[in-house]
């Protein structure tokens, strides 16, 4: 067997629309042979008339750049791929993609309700509905709609929703970038009938209340819609027209209220034809963003949950879906009466009396209100989402009501899996994956339930490698990185949330760089590159990385002499420090650790940037950043330690970071590890690290001869620990290690964070990286797993572990077992890749592609 397992254009297999004049083509192959290599891949790109636009021969597989004739807008192209192996086998595949408008200037007009003066604070605007009847002027052979909005829109043809996306056009840095979506609507218009076209537009992120201070109207004073219709007729002629003042608008539609935090109110009794319509007016946008074809991963429906239990509490019925997640409910009402009001509240946890605990939602109401018409009806909200496991329903009889819940998250393919002999660790892996899904909702958010859901950079900085193992995050994270570049200040600093939407915390200055949070501009591209092998992510973000590390370097050197120039010592109010470290009870204490976390951050980002510079051929830059990292390491050891591997001020993160990054001199490294172990033992093997140290602590131990301690931490079920959360029933990762005590109560108290606790927050789930790279043992040595190592680290009485990842070249997997003191392992190596297998007895084996087995006596 030799076949093309996947063929993509711009990272997609289906529904591919791009504005790029030079799109990227990637493919992977599968074979049941061993040591198989690709000898040639012949790629041909043809237009819809069959004309060859470009053809090439290559042995590359990742992000092959189209370099043919100029592509035309609104056109369809076919990519044919023929691959040959060194065994003489051949494989063939084809894929189609469509170009978007490919225009530097958006050709459409934005329209709005010009009479709507929205001035209320901390709320979202009234939703608007736009309408026009449209009929094609001839026999249509192809019809597209290109749509965007300042706000969130949904499009309906004759009352039927078009497309499966939620929250279009998506969340971007609206000052600079705004996406548009492309819909193939040929089936609607090729019958020659008139279509009633409706758009409903809510405030969303651009106009609605957002960030926990509930700012609104950040990117626009009110909603605005722009849509272009493109028809191609059977006579070869084409027609392009769009929204203008001939469209009608009303604020008396069915959606009465829509807010990302508060929820949605929907009145099914409204008859749109009886609403007060008027002509829309053209709107001049507050900003002038570049309007681009959708480049991210759209939010769509995924898993469906039925209630596991229900309980009557006063007027409400409490439903438990058994899983904390981000999404919506969909319910069916029977025997409804016109005007009957059903209210549904959402929460992550329950109070001890079984009622919903909504105290940690802060100002978010997280409520769906539905006003019934007569008879049976089905409803789910379209302009909001919630983070929840439980809902409370009132206003309907139990026998007349059926409900289910639907997970919403960005459309990313499953990529990796992990399993072992310890069921609690398997549950931890499930929790990691669910927190990823719940917080990959168009942007990487912090949590999905309270009045936040913001693109916190520090969270994804530490979690990106874990995310990239479990899911195909390429389009999702590249789109977000485009906004990070858009938000970077001229001085190199970055907002702590992207898109920022006017948010700034902690105390910030226009020139400030913040360690670990700003580090996302280096750590996320590097994680993507090592995971996917796509060098373009380094090229696209290299200038941003340089500017950021330059800013960090300047702030470290400010007002300093000697080695202190390499200690990043700006006041703690400008940092997050060892964020939510459980061995420090209050926020100011986490922040006061910033000298250590920031200095280690500068070492790490400058080291990675040196590697990136080498890969891209910027050798002088590489030397500069390598020297910088050496100076930072020397300063850390000279100033923060006694010169003999002991920190003058000891806490877990301050040891973990320099140990893991290799900042200690060789003769002091083991001493530092011993001192870290003493801290851990004193803390009963409980975790003591905040955001910066948590991803690395088990590596720092296991890679330095203390796998026994690493496994004791991993398997610990006392608070604070990963498995304490599992033991207490968590189905996702918590924001705080002590989110609930043994009695199900939240003990955090007044710690300076304003009641900050989420039960669906992936940051400390970065431990997943240890599960995949050390427990299962799969670790890339070259980008994209072109060369990788399998070296399981045994311990914790585990008797088996397995993991696999669908790399850019194919599936790489490891499955090991221990039986009767014999370690046995089965591995899989993708075509064209190399694997270095290191067995527990010290034996090293090298393999090309294929399936292999090996064993070692323990």
What are the residue numbers of the active site? Answer: 452, 735
Report how far apart, in Å, the C-alpha atoms of 747 and of each of 349, 739, 752 are: 14, 7, 14
Measured CA to CA, the distance from residue 750 to residue 847 in angstroms comes to 56
H or E, element range at 707: helix 707-715
Place of tokens 């909200």: 381
Instruction: Count CA atoms closer than 13 A to 359's CA, side-chain side.
Output: 11
Nearest Cα to Cα of residue 793 among 854, 839, 847: 839
Contact 46, 93 (CB under 8 A): no
Measured CA to CA, the distance from residue 19 to residue 294 in angstroms comes to 9
Measured CA to CA, the distance from residue 488 to residue 684 in angstroms comes to 42
Measured CA to CA, the distance from residue 224 to residue 695 in angstroms comes to 43
Measured CA to CA, the distance from residue 819 to residue 449 in angstroms comes to 45
DSSP label at residue 564? G
Contact 632, 602 (CB under 8 A): yes
Contact 144, 17 (CB under 8 A): no
**Taking the CB of residue 433, how many other CB atoms lie within 10 A of it?**
23
What is the token pair recorded at 442? 């168009």
Task: Provide the H-helix boundaries in 441-569.
Answer: 457-470, 474-487, 520-532, 536-557
Rounded to 5 degrees, what angle do the CA atoms 20, 22, 24 make?
A: 95
Measured CA to CA, the distance from residue 56 to residue 81 in angstroms comes to 10
Contact 431, 726 (CB under 8 A): yes
What is the token pair recorded at 624? 């500069």
Measured CA to CA, the distance from residue 70 to residue 49 in angstroms comes to 15
**Taking the CB of residue 491, how many other CB atoms lie within 10 A of it?**
16
Nearest Cα to Cα of residue 329 among 368, 374, 377: 368
Cβ-Cβ contacts under 8 Å for 590 (sequence gap 6 or more): 576, 577, 578, 579, 580, 581, 584, 690
Q: Which of helix, strand or coil describes residue 746?
A: coil
Measured CA to CA, the distance from residue 679 to residue 698 in angstroms comes to 14
DSSP label at residue 166? B
- Which residues sit opposite 856 in a β-bridge? 823
Length reported for the chain: 858
Measured CA to CA, the distance from residue 101 to residue 212 in angstroms comes to 37
Nearest Cα to Cα of residue 446 among 354, 576, 571, 547: 576
Cβ-Cβ contacts under 8 Å for 189 (sequence gap 6 or more): 134, 135, 136, 140, 143, 195, 231
Measured CA to CA, the distance from residue 718 to residue 728 in angstroms comes to 10
Nearest Cα to Cα of residue 486 among 474, 496, 476, 499: 499
Q: What is the DSSP string of 620-676?
A: HHHHHHHHHHHHHHHHHHHHHB-SSS-BSS--HHHHHHHHHHT-S-HHHHHHHHHHH
Contact 429, 356 (CB under 8 A): no
Measured CA to CA, the distance from residue 109 to residue 132 in angstroms comes to 15
């Amino acid at each position: 067997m030799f076949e093309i397992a996947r063929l993509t254009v711009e990272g997609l297999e289906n529904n591919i629309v791009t504005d790029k004049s030079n799109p990227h083509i990637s493919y992977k192959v599968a074979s049941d042979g061993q040591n198989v290599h690709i000898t040639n891949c012949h790629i041909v790109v043809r237009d819809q008339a069959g004309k060859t636009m470009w053809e090439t021969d290559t042995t590359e597989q990742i992000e092959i750049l189209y370099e043919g004739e100029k592509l035309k807008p609104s056109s369809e192209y076919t990519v044919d791929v023929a691959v040959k192996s060194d065994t003489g086998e051949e494989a063939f595949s084809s894929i189609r993609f469509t170009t978007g408008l490919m225009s530097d200037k958006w050709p459409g007009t934005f329209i709005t309700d010009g009479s709507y003066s929205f001035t209320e604070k901390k709320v979202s605007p009234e939703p608007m509905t736009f309408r026009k009847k449209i009929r094609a002027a001839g026999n249509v052979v192809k019809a597209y709609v290109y749509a965007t909005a300042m706000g969130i829109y949904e499009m309906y043809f004759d009352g039927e929703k078009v497309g499966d996306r939620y929250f279009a056009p998506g969340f971007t840095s609206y000052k600079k970038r705004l996406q548009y979506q492309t819909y193939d609507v040929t089936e609607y218009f090729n019958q020659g009938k008139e279509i009633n076209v409706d758009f409903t537009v809510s405030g969303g992120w651009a106009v609605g209340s957002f960030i926990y201070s509930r700012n609104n109207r950040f990117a626009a004073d009110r909603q605005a819609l722009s849509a272009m219709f493109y028809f191609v007729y059977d006579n070869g002629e084409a027609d392009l027209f769009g929204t203008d003042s001939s469209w009608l608008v009303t604020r008396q539609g069915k959606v009465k209220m829509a807010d990302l935090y508060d929820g949605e109110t929907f009145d099914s009794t409204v008859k749109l034809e009886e609403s007060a319509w008027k002509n829309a007016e053209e709107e001049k946008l507050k900003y002038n963003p570049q309007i681009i074809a959708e480049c991210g991963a759209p939010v769509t429906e995924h898993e469906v949950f039925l209630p596991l239990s229900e309980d009557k509490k006063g007027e409400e019925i409490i439903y438990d879906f058994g899983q904390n997640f981000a999404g919506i409910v969909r319910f069916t009402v029977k025997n409804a009466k016109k005007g009957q009001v059903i209210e549904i509240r959402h929460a992550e946890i329950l109070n001890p009396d079984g009622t919903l605990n909504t105290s940690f939602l802060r100002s978010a109401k997280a409520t769906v209100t539905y006003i019934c018409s007569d008879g049976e009806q089905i409803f789910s909200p379209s302009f909001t989402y919630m983070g929840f496991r439980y809902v409370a329903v009132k206003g309907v009889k139990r026998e007349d009501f059926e409900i289910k819940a639907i997970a919403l998250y960005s459309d990313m393919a499953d990529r990796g899996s992990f399993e072992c002999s310890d069921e609690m660790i398997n549950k931890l892996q499930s929790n990691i994956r669910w927190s990823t899904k719940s917080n990959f909702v168009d942007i990487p958010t912090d949590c999905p339930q309270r009045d936040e859901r913001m693109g916190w950079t520090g969270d994804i900085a530490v979690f990106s490698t874990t995310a990239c193992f479990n899911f195909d995050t390429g389009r999702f994270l590249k789109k977000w990185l485009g906004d990070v570049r858009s938000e970077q200040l001229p001085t190199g600093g970055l907002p702590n949330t992207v898109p920022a939407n006017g948010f700034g915390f902690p105390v910030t200055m226009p020139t400030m760089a913040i360690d670990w949070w700003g580090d996302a501009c280096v750590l996320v591209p590097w994680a993507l590159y090592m995971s996917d092998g796509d060098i373009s992510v380094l090229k696209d973000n290299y200038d941003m990385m340089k500017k950021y590390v330059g800013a960090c370097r300047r702030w470290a050197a400010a007002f300093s002499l000697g080695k202190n120039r390499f200690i990043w010592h700006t006041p703690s109010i400008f940092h997050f420090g060892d964020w939510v470290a459980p061995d420090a009870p209050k926020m100011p204490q986490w922040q006061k650790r910033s000298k250590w976390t920031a200095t280690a951050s500068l070492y790490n980002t400058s080291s990675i940037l040196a590697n990136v510079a080498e890969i891209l051929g910027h050798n002088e830059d590489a030397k500069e950043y390598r020297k910088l990292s050496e100076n930072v390491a020397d300063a850390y050891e000279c100033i923060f330690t006694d010169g003999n591997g002991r920190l003058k001020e000891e806490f877990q993160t301050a040891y973990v970071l320099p140990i893991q990054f290799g900042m200690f001199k060789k003769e002091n490294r083991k001493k530092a590890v011993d001192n870290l172990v003493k801290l851990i033992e004193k803390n009963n093997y409980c975790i003591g690290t905040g955001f910066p140290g948590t991803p690395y602590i088990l590596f720092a131990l296991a890679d330095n001869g203390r796998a026994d301690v690493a496994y004791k931490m991993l398997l610990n079920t006392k608070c604070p620990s990963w498995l304490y959360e599992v033991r207490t029933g968590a189905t996702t990762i918590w924001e705080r290690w002590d989110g609930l005590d043994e009695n199900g109560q939240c003990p955090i108290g007044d710690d300076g964070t304003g009641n900050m606790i989420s039960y669906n927050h992936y940051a400390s789930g970065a431990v997943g990286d240890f599960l995949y790279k050390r427990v299962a043992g799969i670790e890339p040595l070259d980008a994209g797993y072109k060369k990788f190592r399998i070296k399981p680290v045994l311990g914790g009485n585990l008797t088996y572990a397995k993991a696999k990842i669908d790399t850019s070249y194919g599936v790489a997997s490891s499955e090991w077992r221990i039986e009767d003191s014999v370690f046995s392992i089965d591995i899989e190596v993708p075509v064209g890749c190399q694997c270095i297998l290191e067995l527990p007895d010290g034996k090293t084996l090298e393999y090309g592609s294929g399936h292999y087995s090996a064993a070692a006596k323990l």
